Structure 1
Amino acid sequence: MQIYPLQPVDYLVIGHVTRDLTPDGPRLGGTAAYSGLTARALGLRVGVVTACDPDLPLFELNDLALAIRYGDTTTTFENIQTPAGRIQRVFHPATTLDLSMVPEVWRNTPIVHLGPVLQEVDPKLARAFPNSFVGVTPQGWLRAATPDNRVTFTEWPEARYVLETANAAVLSIEDVQSSEDLIEEMVSSIRVLAITEGASGARIYWNGDVRYFRAPITAEIDPTGAGDIFAAAFFVRLYQTRDPWEAARFATQLAAASVTRSGLKSIPTPEEVKLNSVEILP
């Protein structure tokens, strides 16, 4: 396992970095990459616990601290757009991630983000950070691979176990196949739940209330990673303000701006962060 540099961080994200196959060639992806770089853009020191093959180019993550378990494979996704919607395929899943892979110096990190992409994050990690704000993006716990490598929806038996301990969760409406019943089940288990709805924005459940946050109209080029950018911005702002409504406003604006660029170029710019920030009163 490769660990460097071993220093405390403010934001720890646990999940696979991925190789994403695109018409323009392979590129780096995964919640760990998009959310980690977003947290860094917001001024935090960021650590990533992940797994991949040693040949995966990671230069775009040079500003992050990486704890990597190297193996023979890197989780690889291919998105195919069809008139009936997106078909997603996955190949070569990397190894699972558990507490043994988290450096001791990172086990009291203020914000911990569990970001599985395909069942790779041990659900027990949700209860392994009692002194941290724990945010989860359960997308990868709701995915499975068929024998022909297609990504499909699956049940999440550990949902209550994870959500009852976490401080907040972010999911897309696509992750739950637009099931309002499933959303209601999750609402009963989590303190704060954000459901993103693409260009329509997001809705936030908190304290028995639900509010909707409309996204500004933008010229969409590539929506990849927008949900992960929303999640990191939401978790950071929620940790800072303890106000889910303010966190949602902030995250919705940054996620909307992100779709105007492609790949990891969608990470918020300093100008976008400054434009959408408001003073946090003591």
Structure 2
Amino acid sequence: MERFDYLAVGVVTHDLLPAGGHTIGGTVSFSSRTAVALGCRTAVVTTAGPDCDLAAALPGIPAHCVPAGHTTTFQNIYTPQGRQQYLHATAGQITAAHIPAGWDRTPIVHLAPLANDVHPAIINLFSNSMVGITPQGWMRAWDDTGRVFPCDFALAAATFPLAAAVIISEADLPDAATLQHFRQAARLLVMTQGPAGCTLFFGDETRHIPAPATTEVESTGAGDIFATGFLIRLHQTGGNPWDAARFANEIAAQSVTQASLAGKIQCLAAYHQSISPHPATQANPV
């Protein structure tokens, strides 16, 4: 049985383009390729329709795909008032029954819902793993037109305490009350803040970790890359969140200097190669 270091669970998406057609998206697309670039043996559990090219989305990465009638499809419309997101199709929900035998013992597990596509109870399957959650997909609802809007994650108090880290973008927090609720529920809450870095809430301590200055070219996927780096480094250091945050800030900052996903991954792989001789920075977590 093949063994892995990092397991990403969530949907591969089709993101509609303004000029027509689509590009491949989804947290697992970015996180799995980042984990590979950082030296981890990586696998993905996802669900998608027959129109999804998983070989292109997850090149060379073992993936267990739950067949679905449709691939989860998003459209982002940008207006002077900000971004409006629409959900045009959903692939379904991944549950504990969909995890292949033995994959539940992967050392690092990243639960990455985007449209309520990962059942929260799945976390109970990974009692022997270090689990990280990027919960944005549990904080979204949509109306009959597909218009996406924020909603409460009612199961946060039951789910977050089982995770080693919960990582959320400041932009995805609808209000201060949600932040406070998540702080109380999570053992370690990480709030990413784009070029400003991140703020960590760990026990009674709150600490801001600034990001290195960089020239931003394309920021798509930076949050997913941050989360992956954070979880890998957290595991490597035996649970040091401050070192994990500094490392995650560094690789996220490097990723935004590249326009394409391929360029981002190549940049991260080169960075990993440059630091790998130092014992404290070995990226293979097991």
Q: TM-score, normalised by structure 1?
A: 0.92
Structure 1 residues 263 and 21: CA distance shift in structure 2, 3 A: farther
Paired residue for 1:129, among 102, 126, 129?
Answer: 126
Give the unaligned 5+ runs of structure 1.
1-5
Cα separation, 2, equivalents of 1:274 and 1:207: 34
Letter in 2 for 1:153: P
Q: Aligned pair 1:244/2:266, yes or no? A: no
Q: Aligned pair 1:161/2:152, yes or no? A: no
Instruction: Name 1:3's counterpart in structure 2.
Output: none
Cα separation, 1, equivalents of 2:242 and 2:211: 14
Q: Aligned pair 1:272/2:271, yes or no? A: yes
Paired residue for 2:63, among 57, 62, 66?
Answer: 66
Q: Please list, as runs of the form range in 1=range in 2, the aligned pairs for 1:174-193 lying within 5 A after superposition.
A: 174-177=171-174, 179-193=175-189
Q: Aligned pair 1:117/2:117, yes or no? A: no
Cα separation, 2, equivalents of 1:18 and 1:281: 32
Deviation of 1:274 after TM superposition, in Å, equals 4.3
After superposition, the C-alpha distances for 1:248-269 in whole angstroms (9 at most, x for unaligned) are: 0010111122222335233352
Structure 1 residues 281 and 256: CA distance shift in structure 2, 3 A: closer
Cα separation, 2, equivalents of 1:218 and 1:183: 28
Paired residue for 2:204, among 203, 208, 222?
Answer: 208
Instruction: Name 1:33's counterpart in structure 2.
Output: 29
Q: Report the secondary structure of 2:171's partner residue.
A: coil
Cα separation, 2, equivalents of 1:103 and 1:215: 37
Cα separation, 2, equivalents of 1:230 and 1:257: 10
Q: Aligned pair 1:20/2:19, yes or no? A: no
Deviation of 1:271 after TM superposition, in Å, equals 2.0
Q: CA RMSD in A?
A: 1.9
Cα separation, 2, equivalents of 1:281 and 1:231: 17
Cα separation, 2, equivalents of 1:274 and 1:44: 13
Deviation of 1:63 after TM superposition, in Å, equals 2.1
209-218 vs 62-71, which deviates more? 209-218
- Partners of 2:34 and 2:268 within 8 A in 1: no
Q: Report the secondary structure of 2:132's partner residue.
A: strand
After superposition, the C-alpha distances for 1:119-143 in whole angstroms (9 at most, x for unaligned) are: 1111101221111001100010001
Q: Please list, as runs of the form range in 1=range in 2, the aligned pairs for 1:71-86 lying within 5 A after superposition.
A: 71-86=68-83
Cα separation, 2, equivalents of 1:74 and 1:225: 19
Structure 1 residues 217 and 81: CA distance shift in structure 2, 3 A: farther
After superposition, the C-alpha distances for 1:213-251 in whole angstroms (9 at most, x for unaligned) are: 222233323222111111010001001102100000010
- Partners of 1:168 and 1:190 within 8 A in 2: yes
Q: TM-score, normalised by structure 2?
A: 0.90
- Partners of 2:74 and 2:89 within 8 A in 1: no
Deviation of 1:279 after TM superposition, in Å, equals 4.3
Structure 1 residues 253 and 276: CA distance shift in structure 2, 3 A: farther
- Partners of 1:254 and 1:273 within 8 A in 2: no
After superposition, the C-alpha distances for 1:41-88 in whole angstroms (9 at most, x for unaligned) are: 111111111111122122331221100012220001112222221111
Cα separation, 2, equivalents of 1:105 and 1:43: 21
Paired residue for 1:87, among 84, 91, 94?
Answer: 84
Number of residue-to-residue matches in the alignment: 276
- Partners of 2:275 and 2:281 within 8 A in 1: no
Cα separation, 2, equivalents of 1:76 and 1:8: 31
Give the unaligned 5+ runs of structure 2.
none
Letter in 2 for 1:94: A
Q: Report the secondary structure of 2:206's partner residue.
A: strand
Deviation of 1:275 after TM superposition, in Å, equals 5.1
Q: Report the secondary structure of 2:213's partner residue.
A: coil
Flag as ranges the 4+ runs of structure 1 deviating above 6 A: none
Q: Percent identity?
A: 39
